[in-house]
């Protein structure tokens, strides 16, 4: 359990540094598929789900 928590928080210390791309990539790897999957189940449209997942990802990133 602790390893999973460490994995999910590994990118947050870097979100305001020069490592933004690496941190964003790590965050996307961790939650991107799940975020898209939830959006797809709710919206039943791949294009809309993609847009919703991107908006959700950006909102998470900006509020980190």
46: number of Cβ within 10 Å:
11
Residue 6: the pLDDT is 46
Taking the complete model, does pTM exceed 0.85, yes or no? no
Residue 37 has pLDDT above 90, yes or no: yes
The tokens describing 19, both together, are 């490592």
Angstrom distances, CA of residue 16 to CA of 5, 8, 29, 49: 20, 17, 19, 28
List all residues 6 or more positions away from 42 whose beta carbon is below 8 Å from its beta carbon.
Answer: 49, 52
pLDDT digits (tens, 9 = 90+) for 17-35: 657 888 888 888 998 999 9
């Amino acid at each position: 359990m602790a390893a999973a928590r460490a994995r999910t928080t590994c990118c947050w210390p870097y979100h305001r540094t020069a490592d933004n791309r690496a941190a964003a990539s790590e965050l996307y790897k961790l939650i991107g598929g799940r975020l898209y999957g939830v959006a797809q189940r709710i919206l039943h449209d791949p294009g809309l789900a993609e847009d919703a997942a991107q908006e959700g990802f950006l909102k998470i990133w900006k509020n980190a």
